[in-house]
Every structure is written in structure tokens, then in C-alpha cells.
Chains A and B, each alone.
Chain A
Amino acid sequence: MSSLRITGGTIYDPANGVDGQVGDIWIVDGQVVEPPVEADSSADRTLDASGLVVMPGGIDMHCHIAGPKVNTARKMIPDDKRTAEPVRRTRLTRSGSGGSVPSTFATGYLYAGLGYTTAMDAAVPPLAARHAHEELEDTPIIDKGFYVLMGNNHYVMKQLAADEPGRLKAYIAWLLHSTKGYTAKLVNPGGVEVWKSGGGNVSGIDDTVEHFNVTPRQIIRGVAGAVEELGLPHPVHIHCNNLGMPGNHATTMETMTSLEGHRAHLTHIQFHSYDGDPDDQSTFGSRVSELAEYVNSHDNLTVDVGQVMFGNTTSLTGDGPLGYYLHQVTGRKWFSGDTEMESGCGIVPIVYKQKSLVHALQWAIGLEWYLLVDDPWRIAMSTDHPNGSSFLAYPEIISLLMDRELRRDVLAGAPRAVSERCTLMDLDREYSLYEIAIITRAAPARMLGLSHKGHLGPGADGDVTLYSPDKDIQRMFELPRYVISRGELIVDDAQVVRDTRGRTLYVAPDYDLEAVDDIQAWFEKTYSIQFRNYPVGDHYLENPLLVPTRSVAS
């Protein structure tokens, strides 16, 4: 039994209502416990946290850090790495490369260095699940997992067209078992299949996907309902159709209403909140107000922002046609990778410029979301790393949320029209540390259904980040004084002092075994590998953590 006592810190633990109270935290064998009753109890180790701000470890619930798409991006951008800060080997830690898409070891160390102890990859094609797990096994320190692409899956579409909700539900559960993934991810549902089969895209949620005769609306509703019935800890995770298009606010609103009360998480919502005419970029504007109002009044929905920040980054998405569109618009090198029966992928290097009206509006729209959603428990911070920016931008985003003058300074350097097309200039709200702790820790944990994360009460994982308070909020959050993962000191004064391996979070909902025959028959007719070689064996996860599901009566 090894125990750690963190003493005298100023604690922000919103899940337990602790707002800046000085106190102690006791961690035994990697878990937070009730402080001992005896006043003179001592722990094996004591960390003096007086004067330090104490929060649960950060949670990034939507990033791209593992799998074929991410690795292809790494390979594709050696130019990006020439100007990136190298990640040097130390006595205890591996070397790596940083930049827009860091290598796996670097990813773990960089997240830990930022005080993040959990990160979930947003989009893995089931056929490559094994690959994602191998990469996650080479990603140190953080707890991790991934969402499984299903929105353009042929079997899913077939069952929807045939009105077979039972088969759909069984398949989704079977697929999560086979991949050891965390939830169903929809990326441009139906649209990627249109791209794969002939170029093009869907333009709205009621377009019919040829050959399969389903609409994105059916996919969204069907999968949302199935996931809810399966009682997965995190609901269906949706990247709406028409990402990035002026005027796409309508598609986003339609997507939200199409759910008809089913739980769902809409991701990188910033990219889906635009006013304007798709054929005229100059009409670009913000429609966050009405979308945020809808989110405010419909508690079946949660969102993460997908904040754009200025600078070079990489667009890296399961949205194949979006990749082609960005290539056509920017002229830059472009990767597209279609996976049989399942999904697509697009990668294009991009740069967001403060002087560009569209980019500056995207930046402002992200911030509008944080400031217009009333309840911080419903909104999580993200940059859709690396699409909007690197996760390393989180400290800067925090400073912008906490200081309206900083926001206005940036607006001053952007085209004037930005302020006419969105409300950011007039938004006075400033986040408190408590609220920051919610959107970067407590809320993501709750959205993910992880009762042992995102807080510091008894039973929580011993993941703790300690910051030195600083008037410069960005600096404060960039350089945590200490980072503790499962009760072990991992980062001490900006140095990674221990190299550990976290746990892989996955679900394994029950399903009807009889449904597998039909799945197998379809698989054997269409795929290019053997059915038996598809599921990921247990040995790919060195430290698995099965997160329970609650089965719900249909």
C-alpha cells in the first residue's frame, strides 16, 4: 500500500462542489481515499501544495492521437517538424517529434506536461483498431481510448434501410467488442460513402445515399437510439454533415432536432455554426447564438468546441470529401484514404491567419460557444487536435476565456468585419478557475461516463494537477508545478520524471450471439481479410479498463 498526501493546496473540484478551498488530498494505491480519521496520520510521501492551485487531471475528450490517419499525417509532414521544438530523449524518456502531429511518445509526455491525464482519440476505422491500440500502447502516461467510426459503415446502413433496429444494435455492440473501442462515432454520416463511391458529398441530412437508400438523418437517429439502448457510458459522438461550409448552421440544427431527445454529443461544434451562403465565402458569419440557445434548452446534448487558433496546423479528419475540398481551396498536398465498408479520411496541412476574415471568425465563433452556453457542464474544451490547433493551445484558450481584454486585443488585430458578424466583442463573461476546471476536467469526465475521473473525491483516480498561480494565466496552465497520475509523481517542475503506461478504456456491451451469423455472412462476402482475423485480441491491451454499460430496456 503506497500512500501520497497532497497537503494545503487550493482545491478546485467542481464535481464535489469544492471551489478554491484549502485542503488535503489522500491517495492510496492510485486512488483518492477519505482522509484518515487520526489527526497525526502520515503518508509514505507528502507533497506540500501550499499556495498551489489543485485540480483533477485534465481530460481531452476529442483529439486525434493514434491510428492510421494520424500516422499518415505524421509521415506526410516532415517539413512541419523542421521548425518544431524537438522532444529530446532523457535518461528515462524516449525521444520524439512535436509539431502539429506529435509522435506517440511525445504525445504522452506533452499531454502529461500540460497536466492532462486522459485523452480519447476521436475516430478509428474498425479495420485498423489493432493499429490504434498498438500506438496507444506506445503513448505513455495518459489513460486513453478511442471512438469507433460507424457513420458510413455498410452494415449499419443496410440494417437501417431494412428497418432492422435489432440487428443494428447487435452489430454496434459486436463492433465495439471486436475493436475494444469506446462508443459509436459518426463522421459526416452518409457523406463519406457518397465521396467513396463517386466523389461528391451529401448536402443535407435528408439526402439519400445511393445504393444504400438511407439518409444521414436515419443514420443519426438509428445509431443514437441503439447506443442509448446499449447503455454506453458516452453517447453517440457526432461530427455533423457539412463541416466548414458557410450556412451549415442549418444542418447542425437539423441534426440536433433529428435526435428527438436521444442523448448525443456534438463534436467540434465551432466548425458547424456558420452563417452564409455555401457558394460565397464572403457571406461567412456566426450563428452560435441560436445554436447555443438550443443546446441550453435541450439537456440531451453536450458539445465540445473545436477551437481554431491562428498558426500552422494539420486538418486530419475521417471526413474524406472535406479533405478534398480543403485541397481544392488551399492547393496544398492532400491525402485521402478510403477503408473498405467502413470509412474515409482526409489530411491537408492548413494555416489559420488572424488577418483572414473567415479564420478570425472561426476563432471568434469558438469563443462565442464557451461564452454563450450557460452551463459549463454541457461544454468541453477541445481544439479537435490538430484540426483547429494543437492541444498545446489549451492554456492560451483558458486565458482568453478568463480575460475579456485579451479577447478584445486579438479582435483588434483581426479584420473589422469580424465584430460585425459575431457577438464576441460584446460578450463580457469571464470564466472562473472553477468553471475552467469544469470544462477541462469535470464535464468531460461526466460526458464520458467516467465516475472515477474528473474529480478528487474518494474513489477517484489519483490524477492531480498542481499549478503555481500566476497573473499570466497562459503561463500558469502551460507549466504545471506537479502532475500526478494514479498517485505517482510524473511531472515535477516541467520535467517528466517517470515514464509509465496508462490504461485503455473500452466498453463491451452485451449482444445477441445469434446476430453474428448474418454479420459474418456479409463480412465474408465483402471484406478482404478473414472474419476470424478482424477482432482485436485481449493481448493488445496491456492495461485494459473495461467501463461498464447499463443495458436499457428498449
Chain B
Amino acid sequence: MSTSEASLATEGSPEIRVIEDATCTFCGCVCDDMDLTVEGNRITKAKNACGLGKAWFLNHHIEDRPEALIDGEPAGYEQAMDRAAEILLAARFPLTYGLSDTTSEAQRVAVAITDWIGGIVDTTTSVCHGPSGIAFQGVGEVTCSLGEVKNRADYVIFWGGNPAESHPRHFTKYSLMPKGEFVPNGRKDRTAVLIDVRKTKSAKAADHFLQVKPRRDFELAWALRALARGLELDSSIEETTGISLETLHEVMDGMKRAKFGVILFGMGVTMTRGKHLNSEAILALARDMNEHTRWNAKPMRGHGNVTGADNVVSWSTGFPFGVHLGSGFPRFNPGEFTASDVLARGEADAALIIASDPMSNFSQPARDHLASIPSVVLDPKLSDTARTASVAFTVSTYGINTGGTVYRMDDVPIPLRPAFESPYMSDLEILRGIESRIRQRQLAEPASDA
């Protein structure tokens, strides 16, 4: 066995290759056990991928599109990068947004650009688990890597999420099925609870389903916190939460008797009434349970590298998202410097959107404003956001055409193994080109006396 990085495995005719141990970045599971069959410049098989992963790999082709569009007209990269740098330098309150579907290497350059131009950098975290990040700043978090869940967890609570549809391999790869060092019988050694307002497909995988009343996750989490502390609860808790006191006691007894528990929570917690207060209650519950036995809480991250975006923005600026760099140093304030707000209130006067499509999923006031300001967009596809851009770059797809690093939902950093080359530049190359143009212009100006 060589001690150097292994080279690509090849089999069959020269046109067909198999890339082993490739990484899927569609969801936060970041499965790195993909075996991709590549024929020319198409992936024709993605062994081990779930339905979402297969759709991801099989649908990112080389499209016949121009390198870039400037105001809707085809343009070359060099010209487009010039124009992009111009737009960003001229802006007084530029917003850099997105970043969750690109490599950490590219994310670092995006933050650098934003620093040099004094803009705001926000990532899709703010509309995903930003509330959990805010909660964590208040109470902390007791957590673990997914391999710990696989090897130790015997009580697993899914709260406000539907992994069967959003993270299809999570049950089999990490949280329910695997036979682990300390859970040798796999599923049989585990108790699974699903808490949600709807009885989704994920309920089939659970032993107990708690149908919580809409907008009552906060009350439910605090009820469990009370029981964890040994406090008495009134039976009216059933009217409030939709869950009977008896069921709550049963669940808490199970939680206390577990050897190693984990609460995996999703958007049902962060996107509904209470938001960060809901996340905070769940993080605090898991933390409190450590008085009895080992418990953990993990936000289920959605995109392949949104965790990387958190990490890169944090190490570069000190804050995870919603960071304002316009005063010359980082300032953090969700609600003030987060993209949804900065756009909906009409404050940003330019935007750099990378690996995200806010025109298809932000609020209408935010979308209206984004369409009205100059924007620079990087996307492999001609998304709605790219369509309204002043400068839209066609870029190669990370994990399929370009390598780099991504961070799984549990912060484990994983390398990408691209399958086939693309004639298009990567996010990293484009951003570097924009950065160097911005720096050239800035350094050409005489130094101020300040």
C-alpha cells in the first residue's frame, strides 16, 4: 500500500473510469463513499448514492453556455471579472451571500474580497441553522462527530426534521442502523424517537412518534428540561404541546436510562415561532441530561458545505455569519447584518452571490431589492439569481469537476474527488481573479494619510 495519495482507479476501456471514495455534497451527510462511473464527461452511475446524490451526480453536465453574461449578453471571463471588480469596488454597502455549495478554498477568497471592499458577508446559515448558532452562543453545545453516534448512541431523537427525505442515508450510515463498537446489534440496540408536527416518512423509522402541536416545540423542550431536573409538571402540558404527560415521562425515563443519547434537530425547530429560543431549549436539554448520562445535540445541516462556510467565516472574522466588515473590522449582529434583512430593507447596494439561489427562495421584498441592484453571481447553472445578475459566471461544479475541501455537518473536513474536467473555471479561480483585480486597483491608489 503506497503512503502517497492513491491515484485514480481505472478499469475497462479508456473512456470509462471509476472514481472511488468520491464525496457527495448534496446534503450535510457528505457521504464520501461514492463510487462514480464516469463515461467521457458524464457520470453514469453513482454507487452508494441515495436518490438525492444520484440526482446530483447524474444531472451536472457540461452545458453549452458562455463563460459569463454581462447584463445578459455573452462575455469572456476576463472581461466579466473586470466588470465584477468594478461593481464591487463602486459599492458602498455590498453583500456577499451564499457560499454553502462551494469549497472552503473558495469561501476563503470570498471572505477576503468582502474584507477588502468592506462589505457584509453572510451565508445560507442565516436562513438555516443560524438560529442554532445564535443559541449556541448563549448556552453552548454538547456534541460529537457522527462516528460517535454510530459507535455509541443507543437513544436517538429526531426533532423537527425528516431525514428520510432530506438526509436519506443518515439512518443507515450514521444514526440508526450501523453496528457500532458499543452498539454491536445496530438498530436493535437503539431507541428512536421522532418529534414533528407532521407524521412524515421518517416516522416509519422511529419507535415512537410524538406529534407536537405546531409552534409548541419551545414548550415541549422546556417540559422535557423540567422532567430532566425532576420537577413536577401539570397534565395541562398535553393541551399545550399535544403530548401527554405520560408520554413525556416515558421518553424522559428512556433518555435517562440511555448510555449515550443524541438529539438531531432540523428546520422544524429553527424556522418556526421561537427560532433560536427553540434551538437554545434543545441544546440546553441535551446539556442538562449530562447530569444523568451522556447526551448530545446536533443540528442537521442542509447543504454540503454550509458547515464549511460557518468555519471559514468564523476563523477569518471571528464570527460565523452576518458579519459586517464595512467599518474596517468585523462586527456581528443577526437581524442587522443578515442577508434576508439587508435585502428586504433595501440596504445593500450591490451583491456577490456564490453557490446559492436567493432569487428562488428569499422573501419577495428581498428578491425585489436584489433584482434592482447590481449583482455578481457564480453558479454552474443559469439559476433565477444568475438570470437577474449584472455579471453571471458559469462555473464548474464542486465535487464533480473541481476538488477542494468540504466540512460535513459534524465539522469533519473531507476532500473532494472530482469525476471529470470542465471547460469552465471554478469558483476559486473566478474569485481569485476578482480579488486580484480589486487589490491591484486598491494598491495602485496612493496610500492615504490616515
A–B touching in complex (CB under 8 Å): yes
Query: Would you call A91 and B443 a contact (CB within 8 A)?
Result: yes
Q: Which residues of A contact B151 (CB under 8 A)?
A: 340-341, 526
14 pairs from A and B in contact (CB 8 Å cutoff) = A75-B320, A94-B316, A95-B325, A95-B330, A96-B318, A127-B412, A135-B315, A197-B152, A198-B260, A327-B140, A336-B140, A337-B144, A340-B145, A528-B145
B323 to chain A minimum Cβ distance, whole angstroms, is: 10
Task: Known A336-B142, A337-B144; judge A529-B32 contact (CB<8 A).
Answer: yes
Given the complex of chains A and B, what is the CA–CA distance between A339 and B151 in angstroms?
11
Query: Would you call A71 and B329 a contact (CB within 8 A)?
Result: no
Task: Known A81-B332, A341-B147, A533-B414; judge A333-B319 contact (CB<8 A).
Answer: no
Q: Mark B308-333, 1 if CB is under 8 A from A, else 0.
A: 00111011111110000100111010
Q: Mark B297-314, 1 if CB is under 8 A from A, else 0.
A: 000000000000011101
Stretch from B203-211, B287-295, B381-389 that touches the partner: B287-295
A535 to chain B minimum Cβ distance, whole angstroms, is: 7
Given the complex of chains A and B, what is the CA–CA distance between A97 and B294 in angstroms?
34
B348 to chain A minimum Cβ distance, whole angstroms, is: 19
Task: Known A71-B311, A335-B140; judge A88-B287 contact (CB<8 A).
Answer: no
Number of interface residues of B (CB under 8 A): 69
Q: Mark A166-209, 1 if CB is under 8 A from B, else 0.
A: 00000000000100000000000000000011110000000000
15 new A-B contacts, CB < 8 A, other than A95-B325, A95-B328, A528-B412, are A76-B136, A89-B329, A103-B318, A134-B108, A134-B312, A197-B182, A199-B290, A335-B141, A337-B141, A338-B144, A338-B148, A340-B148, A526-B181, A529-B32, A533-B32
Q: Mark B149-183, 1 if CB is under 8 A from A, else 0.
A: 01110000000000000000000011000001110
Contact of B336 with A by CB under 8 A: no
Task: Known A71-B314, A103-B318; judge A177-B3 contact (CB<8 A).
Answer: yes
Q: Which of B183-214 contact A (CB under 8 A)?
A: none
A118 to chain B minimum Cβ distance, whole angstroms, is: 20
Q: Which residues of A contact B150 (CB under 8 A)?
A: 340, 528
Given the complex of chains A and B, what is the CA–CA distance between A79 and B136 in angstroms?
12
Given the complex of chains A and B, what is the CA–CA distance between A533 and B328 in angstroms?
38
Contact of A532 with B by CB under 8 A: yes
Given the complex of chains A and B, what is the CA–CA distance between A89 and B405 in angstroms?
27
Task: Known A75-B133, A334-B287, A340-B145; judge A130-B3 contact (CB<8 A).
Answer: no
Task: Known A91-B443, A334-B287, A339-B148; judge A81-B3 contact (CB<8 A).
Answer: no
Query: Would you call B414 and A199 a contact (CB within 8 A)?
Result: no
B55 to chain A minimum Cβ distance, whole angstroms, is: 22
Number of interface residues of A (CB under 8 A): 68
Q: Which residues of A contact B287 (CB under 8 A)?
A: 334
Query: Would you call B294 and A196 a contact (CB within 8 A)?
Result: yes
Chain A, residue nearest B329 (CB): A86
Contact of B20 with A by CB under 8 A: yes
Q: Which of B5, B116, B144, B152 has the most CB of A within 10 A?
A: B144
Query: Would you call A103 and B330 a contact (CB within 8 A)?
Result: yes
Contact of B413 with A by CB under 8 A: yes
Query: Would you call A513 and B181 a contact (CB within 8 A)?
Result: no
Given the complex of chains A and B, what is the CA–CA distance between A135 and B112 in angstroms?
14
Query: Would you call A96 and B148 a contact (CB within 8 A)?
Result: no
Identify A527's interface contact among B136, B137, B147, B314, CB under 8 A. Answer: B147
Q: Which residues of A contact B148 (CB under 8 A)?
A: 196, 338-340
Identify A97's interface contact among B23, B137, B181, B319, CB under 8 A. Answer: B319
Q: Which of B99-124 contact A (CB under 8 A)?
A: 104, 108, 112, 115-116, 118
Chain B, residue nearest A101 (CB): B318
> Which secondary structure dominates where chain B touches chain A?
mixed
Q: Which residues of A contact B23 (CB under 8 A)?
A: 533
Chain B, residue nearest A333 (CB): B140
Contact of B411 with A by CB under 8 A: yes
Contact of B231 with A by CB under 8 A: no
Contact of A530 with B by CB under 8 A: yes
Q: Which residues of B contact A103 (CB under 8 A)?
A: 314-318, 330
Given the complex of chains A and B, what is the CA–CA distance between A460 and B151 in angstroms?
48
Q: Which residues of B contact A517 (CB under 8 A)?
A: 1
B226 to chain A minimum Cβ distance, whole angstroms, is: 19
Q: Which of A296-329 contact B (CB under 8 A)?
A: 324, 327
Identify B147's interface contact among A81, A327, A340, CB under 8 A. Answer: A340
Chain B, residue nearest A93 (CB): B115
Task: Known A75-B320, A97-B317; judge A131-B330 contact (CB<8 A).
Answer: no
Query: Would you call A75 and B319 a contact (CB within 8 A)?
Result: yes
Task: Known A71-B314, A71-B315, A95-B317; judge A532-B6 contact (CB<8 A).
Answer: yes
Given the complex of chains A and B, what is the CA–CA distance between A532 and B6 in angstroms?
8
Q: Shortest 4 CB-CB distances between A and B: which pairs? A: A340-B147, A97-B318, A86-B329, A528-B147
Contact of A516 with B by CB under 8 A: yes
Given the complex of chains A and B, what is the CA–CA distance between A126 and B314 in angstroms?
21
Identify A334's interface contact among B5, B142, B314, CB under 8 A. Answer: B142
Contact of A111 with B by CB under 8 A: no
Contact of A548 with B by CB under 8 A: no
Query: Would you call A530 and B21 a contact (CB within 8 A)?
Result: yes
Query: Would you call A198 and B140 a contact (CB within 8 A)?
Result: no
Task: Known A338-B148, A530-B32; judge A68-B315 contact (CB<8 A).
Answer: no
Query: Would you call A134 and B405 a contact (CB within 8 A)?
Result: yes
Q: Which residues of B contact A211 (CB under 8 A)?
A: 182
Identify B138's interface contact among A138, A333, A337, CB under 8 A. Answer: A333
Task: Known A138-B315, A197-B182, A513-B3; judge A339-B145 contact (CB<8 A).
Answer: yes
A88 to chain B minimum Cβ distance, whole angstroms, is: 5
Chain A, residue nearest B445 (CB): A91
Contact of A369 with B by CB under 8 A: no
Chain A, residue nearest B1 (CB): A516
Contact of A102 with B by CB under 8 A: yes
Q: Mark A325-356, 1 if CB is under 8 A from B, else 0.
A: 00100000111111111000001100000000
Given the complex of chains A and B, what is the CA–CA distance between A128 and B408 in angstroms?
11
Q: Mark B34-56, 1 if CB is under 8 A from A, else 0.
A: 00000000000000000000000
Contact of A362 with B by CB under 8 A: no
Chain B, residue nearest A105 (CB): B316
Q: Which residues of A contact B180 (CB under 8 A)?
A: 526
Q: Which residues of B contact A88 (CB under 8 A)?
A: 328-329
Q: Which residues of A contact B21 (CB under 8 A)?
A: 530, 532-533
A61 to chain B minimum Cβ distance, whole angstroms, is: 22
Query: Would you call B415 and A75 a contact (CB within 8 A)?
Result: no
Q: Which residues of A contact B414 (CB under 8 A)?
A: 529, 533
Query: Would you call A89 and B32 a contact (CB within 8 A)?
Result: no
Given the complex of chains A and B, what is the CA–CA distance between A211 and B311 in angstroms?
34
Contact of A379 with B by CB under 8 A: no
Chain B, residue nearest A530 (CB): B21
